A and B are shown apart, each in its own frame.
Chain A
Amino acid sequence: MIALTGTPRPALPQLRLMGIAVPIAVLLALVPSFANSYQTLLLAYGLIIAIAGLGFNLLLGYTGLLSFGHSAYFGTGAYAVAFMAQDLGVRSMEAYILCGLALSAIVSAVFGFICVRHTRIFFGILTLALSQVLWSLALKLFWITGGSDGLRVPRPTLLGGMLTYTGGGFPRFISYYYYYVLVLFVVCVLVMWMIVHSPFGKALQAIRDNETRAAFLGLRVRRFRWVAFLISGVYTGLAGVLWVPLNGLTTPDILYWPFSGEIVFLTLLGGFRNFTGPIVGGIVFTFLKTYAVATTEYWQILLGVVLVVLVLVLPTGIVGALAQLIGRLWPQRAD
């Protein structure tokens, strides 16, 4: 209901975006110069998972579809890299990205075609079921996937070897890889921002708000949902591609349902009714998880409890709550 108060929105969203995004991007770019390589590594993980969150939220926040199976696309991206590294001996990060995107596009196109015939819970469980199929395949076809041991992925070459980090060891790799991720992250944010502010994005939001009326505007609802699903899957797949070289290993765990749950969680944590929600959620989540896992073995309970509490008392997430707070402290001038 907070969203319905009818506060006027600023005239030029482009300007507002630049005003917020540029300082933050500069800040992010400076991080490796003052943070140690472990914190840089965590932030890189955070940015990667934020890309997955952005993709996920195109479905949840903008299209009104709650997927419990986004691990499938993340895993597809990750395994695509692992197969290329192991079976084809490819080392180029750019080749990983291209093939990873293609493969996750194919998988999400097929899965999406099945899932968008349904909405609400049917959609949710279908996505869950399909991701479980991939998970069980990854476990059982061990001669291809390495089973529960997973597949190792060596450090790739960046920009066709133009960025060399050999000799610099792990810290050097991290700082280069961090910038690599940051650039892609910025591109992803800009592209997603464009998508949600495009006529297509508005159509998705219309479908979310009122499916029947959208159909009576002549919008082909199912097709729009399918394209949204595809984009969402590709984003999450890219996150998987970027994640593997950092982790050095991919296991079926990233295809398993709790991983989908983490994507759901971080989006809700940040706030799924905001564009920036999943970004903030992804970064906060990564740090939260790292420190929580270090202190307790029962990370999932914490996740579940926080999720329930979020839904019951803070349904707009961190960004939503901040926006409300700011709105209360500095009421916007009506223009």
Chain B
Amino acid sequence: MALLQTVNLTKRFGDFRAVNSVNFTVNQGEFLSLVGSNGAGKTTLVNLISAQLWPDTGQVLFEGRDITQATVFQRIRAGIARSFQLVNLFDRLTVLDNVSLAIFSREGKARNLATLAEGDREVRTEAMDVLGLFGLDTKRRLLAGGLAQGERKLLDVAVAYALRPKILFLDEPTSGVGTRDKAQIMDTISAVVRAGTVTAVVIEHDMDIVFKYSDRIVVMHEGAFLADGLPAEIRVNKEVATVLLGAAVPG
């Protein structure tokens, strides 16, 4: 069964159709890449699914339930998490606090004002585990605002991951990141997907990465789907090559 599904989802900005009647399906446990040139509608699609934007028409179904009208809060609780294209952290909290807070929120402990945040051993242990997974455990006491760009990107993904979502949307997790961090981000994400704990949808420009890690690739162009298939199929698709790389690129 499809974990997440959109039905004729449409979003207009003025007379510009950013997302044009899209039927998008994500299956349980897959690593899916969403590619396309700038302005193709990828981020808008993710915004519609995460309730950052509301669609003009169409539906969003999650685990078979219609969540088109659900609020951000309800969708997070249902298990939909996302990261942001531009790094979006709590800059004046420590790295550990950034991740812990996601766990507190998930556990419904964020309302608690009569205990010390650092006194919760369970949360602390789990947060350290997550940081360890992303290679950030040694940086736990630094303020998030003081991290280097690549580390910020990693932490951004770690925070979303710490929500233990069923589906995780990552908007350009590797943009502006060095090669080493890039591999670490993608290896980490694909490892947790392979472990069966999360389904991942990644918006990505780097086609090497897309081909290497994805189970399935969806190509968007001008608000609609241009292609949807296995990496091997997309690699040889002429139309996709034209749109993404410009027509006559050799190689």
A and B touch in the complex (CB under 8 A): yes
Asked if B76 and A217 sit within 8 Å, CB to CB, the answer is yes
Question: Any chain B CB within 8 A of the CB of A199?
Answer: yes
Type the 1/0 row for A211-250, where 1 means its CB is closer than 8 Å to any CB of B: 0111111111000100100000000000000000000000
Decide yes or no: A202 and B100 within 8 Å by CB, A6-B146, A216-B81, A219-B110 being known contacts: yes
Question: Any chain B CB within 8 A of the CB of A296?
Answer: no
Asked if A203 and B73 sit within 8 Å, CB to CB, the answer is no
Closest 7 CB pairs of A and B: A6-B146, A200-B113, A218-B76, A4-B145, A209-B90, A199-B104, A213-B88
Asked if B91 and A4 sit within 8 Å, CB to CB, the answer is yes
Type the 1/0 row for A194-206, where 1 means its CB is closer than 8 Å to any CB of B: 1101111111011
Type the 1/0 row for A173-207, where 1 means its CB is closer than 8 Å to any CB of B: 00000000000000000000011011111110110
Asked if B101 and A3 sit within 8 Å, CB to CB, the answer is no
Return the contact of A202 from the options B84, B104, B142, B159 (Cβ within 8 A): B104
Question: Any chain A CB within 8 A of the CB of B116?
Answer: yes
Q: Which of A7-15, A37-45, A71-79, A101-109 contacts B (4 or more CB under 8 A)?
A: A7-15
Question: Any chain B CB within 8 A of the CB of A210?
Answer: yes
- In the assembled complex, the Cα of A227 lies from the Cα of B90 at a distance in Å of 20
- In the assembled complex, the Cα of A220 lies from the Cα of B143 at a distance in Å of 24
Asked if A195 and B91 sit within 8 Å, CB to CB, the answer is no
Asked if B90 and A205 sit within 8 Å, CB to CB, the answer is yes
- In the assembled complex, the Cα of A198 lies from the Cα of B104 at a distance in Å of 10
Decide yes or no: A210 and B110 within 8 Å by CB, A4-B143, A5-B146, A199-B115 being known contacts: no
Question: Any chain A CB within 8 A of the CB of B12?
Answer: no
Contacts of B76 in A (CB 8 A): 216-218
The 23 listed contacts between A and B (C-beta, < 8 Å) are: A4-B92, A5-B143, A6-B147, A8-B142, A194-B114, A198-B114, A198-B116, A199-B104, A199-B109, A199-B112, A199-B117, A202-B100, A202-B101, A206-B101, A208-B92, A210-B89, A212-B52, A212-B88, A213-B90, A217-B105, A217-B159, A218-B163, A219-B101
Q: Pick the most buried of A4, A13, A218: most chain B CB atoms within 10 A of its CB.
A: A218
The chain A residues found within 8 Å of chain B, CB to CB, are 3-6, 8-9, 11, 13-14, 194-195, 197-203, 205-206, 208-210, 212-220, 224, 227
Tally chain B residues at the interface, Cβ within 8 Å: 44
Asked if A201 and B117 sit within 8 Å, CB to CB, the answer is yes
Asked if A209 and B91 sit within 8 Å, CB to CB, the answer is yes
Question: Any chain A CB within 8 A of the CB of B93?
Answer: yes
Known: A198-B114, A202-B110, A217-B102. 17 other contacts (CB 8 A): A8-B142, A197-B117, A199-B101, A199-B112, A203-B101, A203-B105, A203-B110, A209-B90, A209-B93, A210-B88, A210-B90, A213-B159, A216-B50, A216-B88, A218-B76, A218-B105, A219-B101
Asked if B92 and A203 sit within 8 Å, CB to CB, the answer is no
Distance between B170 CB and nearest chain A CB, rounded to angstroms: 13
Contacts of B105 in A (CB 8 A): 203, 217-219
Contacts of B147 in A (CB 8 A): 6
Distance between B125 CB and nearest chain A CB, rounded to angstroms: 15
Question: Any chain A CB within 8 A of the CB of B94?
Answer: yes
